[in-house]
Chains A and B, each alone.
Chain A
Amino acid sequence: MRRKRVRKSITFAMRWRAFLRSLRETFINILRHPFMVITSIVTVTFMLVLLGAFAVFSINADLIVRRAAQQPPIEIFSEPGLEKSRAEKIRLALEERDDVIDLRVLSPEENLEEFRRGLGEDGAKTLQYYNARYLPWSFIVRLSDPDPEQAAALAAQIRGVPGVAEVVYNSDLIAGLSNLSKTLLVVSAVIFVILSGVALFIISGTVRASVAARGEEIEIMKYLGATNSYIRIPYMLEGALIGFTGAVLGCTILILLWQRIYMHLMSGTAVTSFLALMPVKQMAPLLALITLPLGVLIGSIGSVVSMRRFVKV
């Protein structure tokens, strides 16, 4: 059956004007109840600072764990006195793997040199007539992920290459760091979701109060033929604006705080150390990327959720 089309009496220009008017309404609403708006902004700021502080902690923790996981390298030793061409084959086998991010090859001479250096001046003297021929080649490998299975797979593969005598890696340490990294990720995600939920709940409560205060006006708008979107837009924008302002404030507070904490904690630590924290320059964009969209999202979703009951035509 052919459905009869309902004539639309509202043109695009009218819709556009109505949208502009609802924008104006947004600002009028904000000016009309500044205390409510300030309360909401402070709430968002507080929640995002809390959330951001946690993000800072987890970003740094993850950074350190990752670095730590790459610290204990996998060492591969060849048979003593292996020819250069055969050692080259082992190097190629290692280089072929995508998960190897760093490979250092030490020749027997270099190993001897390092050995001497490790023994100090007196020890070095005793080794002065020692021949490098009796020493193996060594390959120091770092993997992209602190994954014990990856390390085991590499060890198994390399052991099969002719000329390899021994593969040394601390599987327990790698496994421990890997687990820590995974746990940190899960805990971060859970806390992030919980804090976002709490922020959403608080914001929707605040907006609900402001919507309820204007419930009668919304009712009148509905009777006069206002569309749901016309009624919703000012509240949504108000929520988004509150969220954005709160996020900007929260982000600024976090960056300033991090600047101080970073200066304080890094005063005795080298930037290259594996314990080095993320510098402010790298942290600031990350924080902005987390807090700003989240603030806008929490603000607008909070508004929509809280006014659903009022705006059902």
Chain B
Amino acid sequence: MAFIEFRNVYMSYRQDLMQRAGYGRSAANRRRLSQRNAVAGRHRFRSGGDDGYALRDVSFGIDRNEFVFIIGPSGSGKTTLAKLLIREAYPCSGEVIIGRRNIHSMPRRYIPELRRKVGTVFQDFRLIPRRTVAENIAFALEIIGTRRSEIDLQVQNMLAMVGLRDRSDAMPDELSGGEQQRVVIARAMVGSPGILVADEPTGNLDPENALRVLQILSRINEQKTTVIVCTHDDTIVNLMQKRVIVIRDGVLTSDQRVAGYDMGADEPYSERGIFY
């Protein structure tokens, strides 16, 4: 059994949209969803309809300490997959298993613990603007009540890892995009999570900074952390030569464990170099 497993995961657009709009999985929202589906001629909220799936029967496994790229054009379902891993989104059906545990059937009170074990890196950084770099990184440990001396030590280690020791007192808006992304990685890794999910970590970066971020992610992976990178940038994928899972229109179309990924093989518009 793989460390992380997606088993026959379905997710309707409608549910995805509602969850994005802030509707949770409460009984009232389930009723609301089923009512809307009933209006649309569908009987159960779990059936999104033929046209309505953000993810359709997605199944794959990821081993411990693996480095995996999930790639696909915009809107293909990469971000939804990443969200499913931190229970930010719920599947209509199917299971998402981390370490033998279906994370979507566990009680809500365990979500914070799950999120401490799955570090997340976002394309839009999401740093707290009024905190310094060091404070932003320390924040992840502060919220779980780590001792101050340990926080300081960990923060210094993380800053050294991402090469930002000299910028520890800078505010986020004083940093370049690449530097901000490195701070986000440091913040995600400071609690030593077993899994790191990066959603378009190089999306806003120039090639040089993108490469640097990938090198950091690779180093993190070497230190026994499972790394999952969702991206539409094929150049970085080829550069890293890791396992590549391709998602297209919510369907898993390819899972190559070979080194490198040949875009030309199944991408009609790969000449442009990127998915869009």
Contact = CB atoms under 8 A, between A and B. Distances in A.
Contacts, number: 72
Given A9-B113, A313-B111, A223 B143 contact: no
A21 B142 contact: yes
Contacts of A217: 128
Contact of A18 (B115, B120, B145): B145
A265 interface: no
A225 B113 contact: yes
A14 B126 contact: no
B140 interface: yes
Contacts of A256: none
A219 B126 contact: yes
Contacts of B187: 224
Interface in A1-56: 4, 6, 8-10, 13-19, 21, 32
Interface residues of B, number: 29
B17 to A, nearest CB: 17
Contacts of A225: 112-116, 140, 143-144, 191
Contacts of B108: 313
B146 A14 contact: yes
A17 B116 contact: no
B115 A224 contact: yes
A226 B191 CA distance: 12
A223 B115 contact: yes
Q: What does DSSP make chain A's interface, helix, strand, loop or mixed?
A: helix
Nearest to B86: A223
A169 interface: no
Contact of B143 (A6, A8, A18, A309): A18
Contacts of B49: none
Given A224-B115, A224-B116, A224-B139, A6 B106 contact: yes
B24 interface: yes
A73 B110 CA distance: 69
A210 B84 CA distance: 30
A233 B24 CA distance: 22
Contacts of A227: 112
A312 B110 CA distance: 13
A149 to B, nearest CB: 49
B22 interface: yes
Contacts of B145: 10, 13-19, 21
10 contacts: A18-B142, A18-B144, A221-B139, A223-B126, A224-B115, A224-B187, A225-B115, A226-B144, A230-B143, A313-B108
Interface of B: 22, 24, 86, 88, 101, 106, 108, 110-116, 120, 126-128, 130, 139-140, 142-147, 187, 191
Interface of A: 4, 6, 8-10, 13-19, 21, 32, 216-217, 219-228, 230, 309, 312-313
